[in-house]
């Protein structure tokens, strides 16, 4: 059976800012505190799209559109689709907006969801706390994504990290409630998976495996997979 990792991060070294490269040289322990490392986000989107085109059966490129920093958010989603991006990611705690901010009149965010739905692009929403500097963690509560699934019923929504470590019950409830909502378990220590989600098997068909490599606590993908296989789950 193939193993699909829905959530990893890759980036060529030449696209890191100089201070980020210096921290990498000093070791992973310091690297986790970098907040913004990409010297050119637009160039990175082109790079990741081309990288994944090398084997589109195995590699899916996710991109991001920040509604505040583009002239036409909906058109930017269309552009990324043509570029080869096959999913979108929003990171509320670091992009500093709530997933349902469109309900307060922020039209560009609604346009992101509308065009993602029209282009059949799933939207992954970071949920759960972040230890990185500048994080506004209140924006990352899973319940804020409830409106998104209701208002955009044809949009596939993925709750990254299942709300860990504070809001797992919210994530579980939402995934059970909405036909168009899923969650990944990336960044969750495999040995704590059933502690966080004791009824995980009830939503097994809507849970996506992911590692969040090379994030803190995930030194390698193979090791994470082996630990996950040791979790006492039924086939």
DSSP assignment of 156-207 equals -EEEEGGGTTT-HHHHHHHHHH-TTEEEE-TTS-GGGHHHH-TTGGGGGGGE
Question: Is 78 part of any domain?
Answer: yes
pLDDT at residue number 218: 87
Token digits of residue 45: 């989107």
Question: Is 218 part of any domain?
Answer: yes
| Predicted confidence (pLDDT) per residue in 171-188, tens digit | 999 999 999 999 999 999
| Predicted confidence (pLDDT) per residue in 69-92, tens digit | 999 999 999 999 999 999 999 999
Q: What is the mean pLDDT of the chain?
A: 90
pLDDT at residue 22 tops 80: no
Q: Tell me if 176 sits within 8 A of 202, measured CB to CB.
A: yes
Q: Name the band, by pLDDT with cuts 50, 70 and 90, for residue 190.
A: very high
Question: Is 142 part of any domain?
Answer: yes
pLDDT at residue 201 tops 70: yes
pLDDT at residue number 209: 97
Average pLDDT over residues 212-224: 87
Q: What angle do CA 183, 88, 224 make, to 5 degrees?
A: 45
Token digits of residue 220: 């390698």
| Predicted confidence (pLDDT) per residue in 125-135, tens digit | 999 999 877 88
Question: Is 113 part of any domain?
Answer: yes
Question: Is 12 part of any domain?
Answer: no
Provide the number of structural domains found in the chain: 1
Question: Is 174 part of any domain?
Answer: yes
Task: Read off the DSSP letter of residue 161.
Answer: G
pLDDT at residue number 28: 45
Question: Is 53 part of any domain?
Answer: no
| Predicted confidence (pLDDT) per residue in 145-155, tens digit | 999 999 999 99
Question: Is 176 part of any domain?
Answer: yes
pLDDT at residue number 36: 44
Q: Tell me if 162 sits within 8 A of 129, measured CB to CB.
A: no
Q: Name the band, by pLDDT with cuts 50, 70 and 90, for residue 21.
A: low
Residues in CB range of 12: below 8 A, 6 or more apart: 47
Domain hosting 85: range is 62-229
Place of tokens 């990944």: 184
The CATH number assigned to the domain holding 225 equals 3.20.20.140
């Amino acid at each position: 059976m193939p193993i699909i990792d829905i959530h990893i991060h890759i980036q060529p070294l030449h696209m890191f800012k100089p201070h980020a490269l210096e921290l990498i040289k000093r070791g992973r322990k310091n690297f986790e505190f970098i907040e913004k490392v990409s010297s050119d986000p637009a160039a990175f989107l082109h790079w990741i799209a081309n990288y994944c085109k090398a084997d589109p059966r195995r590699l899916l490129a996710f991109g991001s559109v920040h509604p505040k920093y583009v002239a036409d958010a909906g058109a930017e989603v269309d552009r990324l689709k043509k570029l080869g991006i096959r999913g979108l990611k929003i990171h509320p705690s670091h992009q500093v907006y709530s997933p349902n901010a469109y309900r307060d009149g922020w039209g560009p965010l609604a346009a992101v969801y509308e065009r993602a739905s029209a282009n059949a692009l799933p939207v992954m929403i970071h949920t759960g706390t972040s230890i990185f500097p500048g994080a506004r963690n209140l924006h990352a509560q899973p319940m804020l994504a409830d409106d998104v699934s209701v208002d955009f019923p044809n949009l596939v929504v993925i709750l990254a990290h299942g709300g860990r470590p504070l809001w797992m019950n919210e994530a579980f409830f939402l995934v059970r409630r909405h036909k168009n909502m899923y969650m990944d378990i990336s960044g969750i220590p495999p040995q704590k998976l059933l502690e966080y989600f004791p009824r995980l098997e009830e939503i097994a068909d809507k849970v996506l495996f992911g590692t969040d490599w090379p994030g803190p606590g995930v030194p390698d993908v193979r090791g994470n997979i082996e630990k996950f296989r040791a979790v006492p789950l039924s086939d």
